[in-house]
Structure 1
Amino acid sequence: MSSQPSDHRNGGSPAERVAALAERRWAWFAGAIIVLMLAVVVFTGLHWAIMPPSRVETIDPSRLQISGEFVESNLGSAVEPDGSVIVRFIAQQYSFTPQCLLVPADTPVTLRTTSADVVHGLLIADTNVNTMVVPGYVATLTTRFDKPGEHLMPCHEFCGFGHQTMWAHVKVIDKAAFFEQARQNRRLSCVER
């Protein structure tokens, strides 16, 4: 231990000067990171407030069954003029309408759904389909079912006292059989009408 006090006017010993310089550099670095994070938060907040995410479609939930895309006669699976398959259905306390969706295997399928009342969750077991179904908005997803079979489709967002009973089924059938049925009927579902 030295009996000489360190000279604070000259910055102290060389080791103290190096330590002080390193502390200042780290303080500036941490400050810059904080400023950058705040700038990103402000930018994204303003950007998304002005420009909502693409493909957001709105719909009036009070008129779902009266007119438009989600009237009862337009629900279920359909082959569009371009050969694509679109499935339309409604989520409402405590069911999906229709209760069973019929889709072809090994074909791109577009699912279009909305809620008539509260927020619901859409999950098709053993697939990549998982989204929220919000009143006033149309949820659109495209997926492909590799092989024939059945998949459960529960509501995975608590929607009220009957939530546990809100299930539907997705029945995947052979592609040729699906298109044969589609030639005979405009709208398809596993539920007989």
Structure 2
Amino acid sequence: MKNNTTLYLYELAWMLPSVALPVGMLAALLVTAFGAHIHLPGKTGQIDPAQVTQTAPFDAPGIVETGPGQYEARIVAGIWVFNPTEIRVPEGSEVTFVATSLDVIHGFFLPHADVNMMLIPGQIARITTRFKQAGTYPFICHEYCGLSHHTMAGKVIVEPRS
């Protein structure tokens, strides 16, 4: 009798985590999807990859002031180059990077500003950060995109307020 109870407890010790773990993962998925709004873009986050250069806002890449101290950096990644390769904003600016790719999967990594995006053809990626200190912030492509991948870089120049 005692031996059967011990076996039952061992079985229970294995069954409970095997149920709790998937339930916990499902809960984490629901929290990120609905609570933190992390999900795949809908139709508004998609464009025709063959028409990127004719589709707003990517028909005019560069930096646009959207409000006091707020900017939108429109970036197009193409084979081994970002357009534009240089972005200038004043110190203390909040910048929303809006980016996509023309051809293959590229990355957009701006390490000193905690910006990291994957640029997929036809998908519009967005991320916002604030540049509190003046300086030069380099960005690179961190997804291998071909032979000259190592040349794909640019910089954000944060100019001091006068």
TM-score norm. by structure 1 comes to 0.69
Q: For 1:65 and 1:175, locate their aligned partners in 2 and report how far apart those are by CA, in whole Å.
A: 33
Q: Distance in 2 between matches of 1:124 and 1:42?
A: 31
1:60 aligns with 2:44: no
- Aligned residue for 1:145? 131
Shift of residue 121 of structure 1?
A: 1.1
- What is the alpha-carbon distance in structure 2 between the residues aligned to residue 134 and residue 55 of structure 1? 12
The structure number with the bigger radius of gyration is: 1
Give the deviation of 1:42 after TM superposition. 7.3
SS at match of 2:111: coil
**Unpaired segments of 5 or more residues in structure 1?**
1-10, 12-16, 177-193
1:36 Cα offset (Å): 3.6
1:125 is displaced (CA, Å) by 3.1
Q: Which of 21, 25, 44 matches 2:9?
A: 25
Shift of 1:20: 4.3
**TM-score after normalising by structure 2:** 0.81
Larger strand percent: 2
Q: State whether structure 2 residue 115 is matched by structure 1 residue 129.
A: yes
Which one of the candidate residues 85, 100, 106 is aligned to 1:99?
85
Moved over 3 A (4+): 36-45
Distance across 2 between alignment mates of 1:172 and 1:111? 15
Letter in 2 for 1:30: W
Q: What is the CA-CA distance between 1:97 and the residue it aligns to? A: 0.2
Q: Is there any run of 5+ residues in structure 2 with no aligned partner, and where?
A: none
In the alignment, which residue of structure 2 is the partner of 1:169? Answer: 155
Which amino acid in structure 1 is aligned with residue 46 of structure 2? T
Shift of 1:40: 5.8
Aligned partner of 1:33: which letter?
P
**1: CA distance, partners of 2:22 / 2:95:** 41
Paired position in structure 2 for 1:184: none
CA contact (8 A) 1:107 1:175 kept: no
Q: 1:33 to 1:132 in 2, by over 3 A?
A: same
Q: CA deviation at 1:55?
A: 5.2
Q: Is contact 1:150–1:169 with CA below 8 Å preserved after alignment?
A: yes
- RMSD of equivalent CA atoms: 2.6
Provide the rounded CA distance (Å) in 2 between the counterparts of 1:103 and 1:64: 25
Look up the equivalent residue of 1:58 and give its one-letter code: Q
Aligned to 1:69: 57
Percent of aligned pairs sharing the same letter: 27
Q: 1:164 to 1:42 in 2, by over 3 A?
A: same
Deviation string 1:16-42 (CA, Å, 9 cap, x unpaired) is: x1x642332231232132134345667
How many residues were matched structurally?
A: 153
Rounded to whole Å, the distance in 1 between the matches of 2:96 and 2:154 is: 17
Q: Which of 112, 129, 141 pairs up with 1:155?
A: 141
